[in-house]
Structure 1
């Protein structure tokens, strides 16, 4: 009899466990590059870990890394939907159309797309106001350069990246009218070899401060090897160049992920929404300063940060000229979010022409 009770108890536990698993909300993440230990995808993965910690056994979370934009991403997103996932976070710009295509076939699945601009009844978009941190980083770069040549390793010439270059340059020119920004495009979100080559080329052109919109620490490492400064992106990259990194703009996705998963669990999630948060909401942060950054520069950055949060400073308040001398934003006016989302020109201070 005792053995029978034990068997029945074990069976009951097994059934309970199976029921609990069946009730778990399944959430998938699609990453464009390896998670690694720093960078864009790494920050998204910290958000994934945050929801696992927050919700525990209520959710089952999976991820696929190094998913190319285009057909391969559609395959991965489709697999999640076909396998009964309740929510999918597609974390790269090039996943936009594949996400929309899959979402149309699976109207009951909640899709979240990072950095895109197209939405649907079951597709939300979200992005950080990276440009606010870029502006602050520009203040640092403008103060720390001695050659007045600042390099920028950039991924693709899309509005998000152009906006970052321009905000950075606006910060530089606020404190140093003689400095110029030189840009090299890698046409890849993650290619350490190309990023390193671009950084070395910029250093060869006289750049003594580098910035980046890329997903590897190659730019920081190049700066460290050459004995110049650099500014990180997405993560604090100081461990790759403790003496080189002046600071870094850091993206904190965790609160957004916790919020959206909470909505799904409570049946309150709604699609066709866009979120664009920045310093005020804590989605954009700044990494600690290098010891080489003087106190007056730190104070300058902190004041600008508080002014942006208070709404009394906007990195794209007029007057603004493009790099050919044409006035693009008049004095007393500020670029709208719509203008920023379609940025396709360089501000004064950036050298060269923007690729088509």
Structure 2
């Protein structure tokens, strides 16, 4: 083994060799640092991704924001991709702290939170953990753990508005991973945006069962295309397969997570994108200045946490005007997506007439239904 190979020992191999030391000395003594931030040395932050950084999706949206962090003064960034939601992420986090000196960690995947982040946070009170997914609860979870997320259902509503002007069959398709509340909010918002333009439009949803299932995603896209669906969107980690498959079938697409426009310029209408740097900066500023760790960070279009993709060449003037008008209301804080009387797809009233749910309403955090006009089961 040459010198370069010796100095580039894989982080996971390193932590396996030191696992016995962690057990013998205690994680706190090895991983804990005397302070969370120091003005005399750069703040080292670690970014962990469950998939590839260039997946045209969820992981890329975080990696793109991490690239902006690298340009900020007084910061050092370490990254690791393709880390599964298992004990492997604990080993990666431990190594980033002990080997790289990281004191602020951004474990970005939903499944990293419990038990992995919680297990390390309790042992390492001087390390700050900022998890993406909205799972932190006051009085239940450690103070050195923070949670951030964005109201991207606002952009999915706009996707639906634009999609409604492009469909000829009045059949839209939504390919999703799992029927958890955040995914259901996106499906429902997309359908409601489309049906605000034309109530006759339906949205057919297929759940693949997991965040990254490219074969099933391709099969679902083709199946829906065979059923007459002519505009697609999605909530999976990497939309690349869906976008490319839909384009090959001559269908339109509204993207998700990041822009997939260059994959299919003619088919891409618009998209719902994350702008994670806004949230990142809040955690970084607190760490650099010694302020308390933010525990619950949220925002939508108005706060800059999310943004729509630029319109594609196939989007007409009427669609642009309508979507822009709705976006302006959202930016001004004068537009609520979930307003009653709203029925689910079994005909049951789920939001009473005259009721408008704000983005922070606990009812939305536990959403477990599909709205009227959506074909599928939870």
- When normalised by structure 2's length, the TM-score is 0.84
Equivalent of 1:300 in 313, 318, 322: 322
CA shift at 1:25, angstroms? Answer: 2.0
CA shift at 1:153, angstroms? Answer: 1.0
Q: How does 1:1-356 map to 2 (within 5 A)?
A: 23-36=41-54, 38-55=56-73, 58-83=74-99, 84-97=101-114, 98-118=116-136, 119-216=141-238, 217-271=240-294, 273-336=295-358, 337-354=361-378
More deviation, 307-316/69-78: 69-78
CA shift at 1:21, angstroms? Answer: 12
Does the aligned pair in 1 maintain the 2:167–2:231 contact within 8 Å?
Answer: yes
Distance 1:81 1:187, change over 3 A: farther
1:225 and 1:70 mapped to 2: Cα distance?
36
2:282 and 2:263 mapped to 1: Cα distance?
32
Does the aligned pair in 1 maintain the 2:157–2:190 contact within 8 Å?
Answer: yes
CA shift at 1:215, angstroms? Answer: 2.6
Give me the CA root mean square deviation.
1.8
Q: How many residues are matched?
A: 332
1:93 and 1:116 mapped to 2: Cα distance?
9
Q: Secondary structure of the residue that 2:76 maps to in structure 1? A: strand
Does the aligned pair in 2 maintain the 1:32–1:69 contact within 8 Å?
Answer: yes
Q: Secondary structure of the residue that 2:329 maps to in structure 1? A: helix
More deviation, 69-78/249-258: 69-78
CA shift at 1:70, angstroms? Answer: 2.8
The corresponding residue for 1:15 is none
2:41 and 2:314 mapped to 1: Cα distance?
53
1:222 and 1:344 mapped to 2: Cα distance?
29
Q: For residues 238-290 of structure 1, what are the alpha-carbon distances to aligned partners after superposition, in whole Å with 9 as ceiling and x for unaligned?
A: 1111111111111111122123212211111424x211111001111111112
* Residue segments in structure 2 that go unaligned for 5+ positions in a row: 1-37
Q: Secondary structure of the residue that 2:209 maps to in structure 1? A: coil
Q: For residues 314-352 of structure 1, what are the alpha-carbon distances to aligned partners after superposition, in whole Å with 9 as ceiling and x for unaligned?
A: 111111111111111112212252111111111111112
Q: For residues 125-157 of structure 1, what are the alpha-carbon distances to aligned partners after superposition, in whole Å with 9 as ceiling and x for unaligned?
A: 000101000001111112211111111110121
CA shift at 1:194, angstroms? Answer: 2.3
More deviation, 125-134/246-255: 246-255
1:21 and 1:62 mapped to 2: Cα distance?
19
1:288 and 1:22 mapped to 2: Cα distance?
42
* Residue segments in structure 1 that go unaligned for 5+ positions in a row: 1-19
1:64 and 1:324 mapped to 2: Cα distance?
44
1:71 and 1:350 mapped to 2: Cα distance?
37
2:278 and 2:228 mapped to 1: Cα distance?
40
Q: Secondary structure of the residue that 1:183 maps to in structure 2? A: strand
2:245 and 2:84 mapped to 1: Cα distance?
26
Distance 1:293 1:75, change over 3 A: same
1:71 and 1:205 mapped to 2: Cα distance?
42
Q: Secondary structure of the residue that 1:139 maps to in structure 2? A: helix
